[in-house]
Amino acid sequence: MSNPPPGRTAHIDDDVRPEQVTFLQALQLWLKLGFLGFGGPAAQIALMHRELVEQRRWISERRFLHALNYCMLLPGPEAQQLATYMGWLMHRTRGGIAAGALFVLPSLFFLIALSWLYIAYGHVPLIAGLFYGIKPAITAVVVHAVHRIGSRALKNNLMWAIAAASFVAIFAMNVPFPVIVATAGLIGYLGARYIPHKFTVGGSHGQTDKSYGPALVDDDTPAPDHAQFRWSGLTKILAAGGVLWCVPMAVLTLRFGWDHTLTQMGWFFTKAALLTFGGAYAVLPYIYQGAIGHYNWLTPSQMIDGLALGEANPGPLIMVVAFVGFVGAYVQAVFGPDLQFLAGATAAVLVTWFTFLPSFIFILAGGPLVESTHGNLKFTAPLTGITAAVVGVILNLAVFFAYHVLWPQGFAGTFDWVAALMVVIAAVALLRYKRNVIHVIAASAVIGLVLKLLVA
């Protein structure tokens, strides 16, 4: 039997191992995934699984899930980190950087264009009608996220208690999100020592014996030399990451000053990148606390609209940070009134850089280290506690969105019964009928446009 062409797979029943994949062939796949990665992390991971495991057989099922489990233990967008990990495993550091970057860049360019259209033409009745329908759908999407993460994380009374406490802390007491994360992590650390059975419920996608045929990187393939943990390698990556963070931050500080919008965006989104345990929905409350409540970069309504654009865009949902950066710098005209688009585009690139740089460092430096501690309860229990707390935090985000959608003028204004009905319909579509998020948002946008045209 002849070998399959390079980079391609034989039929899944064949016993032929795929030939070695070149760096160029891998680049083509990473770029494809960057343009097709719609539907959030679950859909993106499923797409990667189909391409890498089922069709091309570049990596075995077990090795794929093993890598995914690593990424689930780290802060940051797990789908983007998984792509980075796959690229790193196959083609060393340059492969990881290429895979992770190409997973993000198409989304960045799309969001810059969409953000400009939104901020420049969002008042046009056509656009306003579309977003009138989108906002209730986004509220339902966040409720769906609460249900999805909660059903996985809240497996005992203690997890429920942590989630409830985090909701009360952020909703009623306005406790900063980092404090909630740190407290939940400490509870998990202590729980691993004293009540370990309560903290063995989270964080793993498990293993499987399913096989699609011999893979290029198979179950018994030894880890390549660059995947072996060495203190020298860890030091080099951390040093390089430190330089890549310090240089742009120093340039911004020296050129504009520490209190300038662009400098503060770089600092704020660096902190946000370190708090994304549980995915983008987990860090959104922190972003709106800072971007809306502290810095006033955008309004609550604009934040909801930005989340809608992020949901409808390929790439990680956390790319909504590019929208926040664009709108904040554009509205504040940080380069002057004649260069608003340049200001917005620059801010979008900067916040993307500061948001994703830690994610690359975690994989390139910490991948081998995390592998050596995977499955250790002392390592996973803090994540379990944090994930439970995240459920309460996202519930607060759902309440926040619902308030601004259902009472657009505040409690003193009128209740929007039409928007409330649309929230219910969208929630039923997502929770009961398991409809695709993009389909629900698109249908809601059309309904909103029709309603606005009818009352116009």
Q: How many CA atoms lie within 13 A of 338 on its CB side?
A: 0
Type of residue numbered 220 = D
| Gap between the Cα atoms of 22 and 51, Å rounded | 16
pLDDT at 147: 87
Q: Which residue has the higher pLDDT, 130 or 379?
A: 130
Q: Which of 373, 390, 355 is nearest to 81 (CA)?
A: 355
Q: pTM of the predicted model, to two decimals? A: 0.73
Instruction: Specify whether the CB–CB gap between 30 and 87 falls below 8 A.
Output: yes
| Gap between the Cα atoms of 283 and 394, Å rounded | 9
Q: How confident is the model at residue 99 (pLDDT cuts 50, 70, 90)?
A: very high
Q: Which residue has the higher pLDDT, 105 or 307?
A: 105
pLDDT at 324 over 50: yes
Q: Which of 388, 138, 433 is nearest to 288 (CA)?
A: 138
pLDDT at 246 over 50: yes
Instruction: Specify whether the CB–CB gap between 388 and 153 falls below 8 A.
Output: yes
pLDDT at 253: 97
Least confident range from 59-73, 95-109, 422-436: namely 59-73
Sorted by sequence, the CB contacts under 8 Å of residue 206 that are 6+ apart come out as 65
Average pLDDT in the 74-81 region? 81
pLDDT at 39: 58
Q: Which of 385, 383, 381 is nearest to 192 (CA)?
A: 381
- DSSP code for 217: B
| Gap between the Cα atoms of 167 and 159, Å rounded | 12
Buried b (16+ CB within 10 A) or exposed e, 76-103: bbbbbbbbbbbbbbbbbbebbbbbbbbb
Q: Among the residues of 289-416, which ranges form H helices?
A: 300-311, 320-332, 340-373, 377-406
pLDDT at 78: 79
- Token readout for 347 is 């801010």
Instruction: Specify whether the CB–CB gap between 21 and 58 falls below 8 A.
Output: yes
Phi–psi pair at 14, nearest 5 degrees: -70, 155
Q: How many CA atoms lie within 13 A of 310 on its CB side?
A: 25
Average pLDDT in the 368-383 region? 66
Q: How confident is the model at residue 100 (pLDDT cuts 50, 70, 90)?
A: very high
